């Protein structure tokens, strides 16, 4: 889960920013991010194998779920 940034209008005013400017910048970033991630993935194929790129750099530990009988 990605962290959520919550900025109040007062906090933005203290920083000298308008809420609309903050929201516009955030919306622009949200639009730009997906193509950038795809480009990074495609460019990564130039110097690493597909198998290397398919492996997560942050693998989850496998744990089998244990279901206990209900009583």
Predicted pLDDT of residue 58? 76
> Which structure tokens are listed for 53?
């790129």
Residue 48: pLDDT above 70? yes
What is the pLDDT averaged over residues 28-35? 92
CA quadruple 37, 19, 1, 50: dihedral, nearest 10: 0
Residue 34: pLDDT above 70? yes
Domain ranges of the chain: 9-47
The residue ranking higher by pLDDT, 3 or 61, is 61
Residue 16: pLDDT above 80? no
């Amino acid at each position: 889960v990605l962290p959520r940034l919550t900025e109040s209008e007062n906090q933005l005013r203290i920083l000298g920013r308008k809420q609309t400017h903050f929201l516009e910048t955030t919306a622009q970033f949200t639009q730009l991010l997906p193509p950038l991630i795809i480009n990074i993935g495609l460019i990564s194929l130039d110097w690493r194998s597909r198998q290397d790129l398919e492996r997560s750099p942050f693998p989850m530990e496998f744990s089998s779920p244990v279901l206990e009988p209900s009583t």
